[in-house]
Structure formats: structure tokens, C-alpha cells
């Protein structure tokens, strides 16, 4: 095939965006196209063109990713798809390779994504960096452990009010949560707060709830309800879009509110915070299940290692393998002053497996037990874990 790889012009943007939906067997609404124009820089869209027609796409949002002790620019990879007529011809591989080179040239040391098909991205050096937890809970079984009784109050606000109250609450939480992303005003306006009918998937309208304690907002939740009745008994489903709170007390109160809404039989949520199962008397009745979650690619290993802080331990030398980017391969010392080294390595691993430890999701011993890491000197795994560990696990609530 004589294919061309390039970004679209402004006039070609809609055709490329519609090409993404064709790859997923769908089509966008007109307001989806306009929303995409406002939030996706056209120069971050890469398309494969066959005879002037887009047949494959990969794009990325410019994000700021919270790291342990720091932040870094991160390319939020999305819109990845190839038309059914052009699959199995190497188009996706070429798009991913070109995109990662472009990310490097932009000075973004990290790329992140949510995988539509998990087997694809390990081939390109991505690793599981922030596993996600889903919940399909029995509302009637919810009870908080050592419950001191309710505090504060919740009020429902309009989308316009939410646009003023929610962003600073979220920003205060995400700065201390590795894996979370900064949100621009445009991101709130076009991705979080809108409520078009075709986003509801059979549920009712989006509600915006703000929790206040002693008159100050300390948490919020976005949710929808699907009304359902069986034999004259309410069996509705409450779906939590997202829930954030500034303190453990506020987290408990926010979930108390959500599980206390009437006419609901089940409460469902994706990407819930790690703390909730530890707060309830019967975590089994939350019916939790897990998925691989956020994938991460270390594009510029030197910059990525310098962007975060590390725990108290002696430095460790990593022997990193990276077939796609030889510039990342070799020996790296990690500690107070990370960088290249000629010292003997303590641990050997692939760059994708280093990505799994980078935000603190997996201890090096766990990776070694899965055959993903090799210890070359005694004590190397323990030192590496002590350096990369975080007080709380990484958490990314942001789908993109």
C-alpha cells in the first residue's frame, strides 16, 4: 500500500475524527465533533491516509501527570484505531512508533493510555501502571466500620455551580495522588460537566452533589440513576461517574450519601478509590473486580527518572531493555541523583516492567515473582522497592 502518514488540516479534522468512530463501529454526534475540536490540538493527531482518505488514527492529549513527589508532562494517547478494511497491514505499528517519536520530540517523557485491547500495548513498551477497581455493590448491605454517625450535609448544584466548586476540590486531591491528571477549564467544560443524552446509556441525567462540612466544600460526586421496578419494588441502579473527597472523613460521608439515595438497589462505579473497601464492614458485598487500568510508557527514561522523588534507600542500578528506543536501554542508577552509570547492575528488567513500578503500583519483588524482573545482586529487589514505593497506591480516575 502507498500510505501517507501526517496530521490533518483543520478542514480534514472532522473526517479523521469520524474515521476513529468507524474503527470502533460507531459514529459521532455533531456536538462530539465540536467538543473534540476544542480539546484536541490538531497537530497531535496522526492519521494514515490511503488515496486521500483517513484509514487509521492515533492522537494524544497534552496532560500533566502527578508523580510521586512531582509532576511531568504526559501524552494521553487516545483515538487509536484502524479501519476494518486496512487491519493486519502494519498501520497500527507505524502509527504507534511515529507517535512515540513525536511525544519524545515534544519533550514529554511519559505516554499513558487506557487500552481497548490489552494485548496490543506491551509490544510498544507500555506497562500496567495503575490498576483500577470496579464496584457493583448491594446498596442495602452498605455500612461504615466504627461509624461515629453522619457529619456535614450534601446539596445538589447545577452544572454552572459545579464548574466553580468542583475544580479546586479536585485539584487539591489530585496533587497528592500519583497517577492523577491536571484538568484544564476546557476539560471540565467539555468532558466532565456536559450531559448529552447519548452519554447516559439508559440512565437518567447527571447529578452534581457537593459535600460540605462546617460550611466548607470538602467533596463532590457526579452520578446518574437508572430507574427500575420489579414486582412493585424499586431496584434502581445508581452509577457513580466520579467521587472525590479531601479527607478520610469526607470520603466516608460522600459514600454514605451515595449509598443512602432512595429507590436504588445497586451502586456501581468504575475506578473507585482504594480506601472505600477498608471503610466498610462487609467489603465482600461491594462486589469488587479489577482490571489492568492505566498503561504507561517511559518515553524519555532519563527525564522520567529525574521527574519523581524516591524513598529512603541506598541507590540501585537498573539494567533496562528497550528494543523500540535504544536511547533508553542500558544501566541507570536510581536514587537521589538518577542517571546513566557504568556500575554493575543490581536488577534487570524491560522498560515496560519498569513502567509498572514507576508510580508505585507494584513492588519489584512482585514483578520478580511474576518473572518480569531479575535480581542480579542480593538485596537489589528490596532496595528498588524501597526507592519506588509510595505511601498510597497510584490512582487515575480519568478516562480519555
Show the domains of the chain with their CATH numbers. Answer: 4-108 (3.40.630.30), 144-281 (3.40.630.30)
Give the pTM: 0.94
Convert the pLDDT of each residue in 175-205 to its tens digit. 999 999 999 999 999 999 999 999 999 999 9
pLDDT at 274 over 90: no
When the pLDDT of each residue in the chain is averaged and rounded to a whole number, the result is 96
Please tell me what DSSP assigns to residue 188. I
Q: How confident is the model at residue 256 (pLDDT cuts 50, 70, 90)?
A: very high
pLDDT of residue 234: 86
Query: Per DSSP, what are the bridge partners of residue 154?
Result: 211
Distance set, CA 301 to CA 312, 330, 361 (Å)? 21, 10, 18
**pLDDT for residue 314 is more than 70:** yes
Convert the pLDDT of each residue in 318-342 to its tens digit. 999 999 999 999 999 999 999 999 9
Asked if 258 contacts 267 with a C-beta cutoff of 8 angstroms, the reply is yes
* Average pLDDT score over residue span 125-151: 96
Q: Is the pLDDT of residue 313 over 80?
A: yes
Which pLDDT does position 375 carry in this prediction? 98
H or E stretch covering 104: helix 91-105
Which of 124, 120, 171, 82 lies closest to 292, judged by CA?
A: 120
- Give the β-pairing of 45-50 and 53-67: antiparallel
Just list the catalytic residues.
Answer: 121, 400
Collapsing DSSP to helix, strand or coil, 382 comes out as: helix
Q: Could you write out the DSSP letters of every residue in 298-365? A: ESSHHHHHHHS---SS--EEEEEE-SS-GGG-EEEEESSS-EE--SPPSEEEEHHHHHHHHTSSS-HH
Amino acid at each position: 500500500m502507498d500510505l501517507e502518514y501526517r496530521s490533518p488540516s483543520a478542514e480534514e479534522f472532522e473526517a479523521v475524527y469520524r474515521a476513529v468512530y468507524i474503527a470502533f463501529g460507531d459514529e459521532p454526534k455533531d456536538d462530539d465533533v465540536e467538543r473534540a475540536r476544542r480539546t484536541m490540538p490538531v497537530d497531535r493527531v496522526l492519521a494514515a491516509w490511503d488515496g486521500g482518505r483517513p484509514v487509521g488514527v492515533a492522537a494524544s492529549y497534552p496532560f500533566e501527570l502527578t508523580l510521586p513527589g512531582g509532576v511531568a508532562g504526559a501524552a494521553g494517547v487516545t483515538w487509536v484505531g484502524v479501519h476494518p478494511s486496512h487491519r493486519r497491514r502494519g498501520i497500527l505499528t507505524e502509527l504507534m512508533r511515529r507517535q512515540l517519536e513525536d511525544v519524545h520530540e515534544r519533550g514529554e517523557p511519559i505516554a499513558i493510555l487506557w487500552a481497548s485491547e490489552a494485548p496490543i500495548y506491551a509490544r510498544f513498551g507500555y506497562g500496567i501502571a495503575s490498576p483500577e477497581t470496579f464496584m457493583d455493590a448491594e446498596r442495602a448491605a452498605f455500612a461504615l466500620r466504627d461509624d461515629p454517625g453522619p457529619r456535614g450535609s450534601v446539596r445538589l448544584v447545577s452544572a454552572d455551580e459545579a464548574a466553580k466548586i468542583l475544580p479546586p476540590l479536585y485539584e487539591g486531591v489530585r496533587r497528592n495522588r500519583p497517577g492523577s491528571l491536571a484538568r484544564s477549564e476546557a476539560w471540565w467544560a467539555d468532558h466532565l460537566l456536559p450531559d448529552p443524552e447519548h452519554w447516559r446509556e439508559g440512565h437518567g441525567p447527571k447529578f452534581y452533589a457537593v459535600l460540605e462540612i462546617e460550611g466548607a466544600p470538602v467533596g463532590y460526586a457526579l452520578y446518574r440513576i437508572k430507574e427500575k421496578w420489579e414486582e412493585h419494588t424499586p431496584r434502581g441502579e445508581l452509577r457513580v461517574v466520579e467521587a472525590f473527597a479531601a479527607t478520610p472523613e469526607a470520603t466516608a460521608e460522600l459514600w454514605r450519601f451515595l449509598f443512602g439515595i432512595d429507590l436504588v438497589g445497586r451502586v456501581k462505579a468504575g475506578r473507585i478509590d482504594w480506601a472505600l473497601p477498608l471503610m466498610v464492614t462487609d467489603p465482600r458485598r461491594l462486589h469488587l473486580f479489577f482490571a489492568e487500568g492505566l498503561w504507561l510508557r517511559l518515553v524519555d527514561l532519563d527525564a522520567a527518572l529525574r521527574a519523581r522523588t524516591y524513598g529512603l534507600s541506598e541507590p540501585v542500578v537498573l539494567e533496562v531493555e528497550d528494543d523500540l528506543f535504544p536511547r533508553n536501554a542500558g544501566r541507570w542508577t536510581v536514587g537521589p541523583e538518577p542517571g546513566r552509570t557504568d556500575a554493575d547492575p543490581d536488577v534487570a528488567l524491560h522498560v515496560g516492567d519498569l513502567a509498572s513500578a514507576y508510580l508505585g503500583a507494584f513492588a519489584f519483588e512482585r514483578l520478580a515473582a511474576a518473572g518480569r524482573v531479575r535480581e542480579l545482586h542480593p538485596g537489589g529487589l528490596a532496595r528498588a522497592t524501597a526507592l519506588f514505593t509510595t505511601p498510597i497506591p497510584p490512582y487515575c480516575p480519568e478516562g480519555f
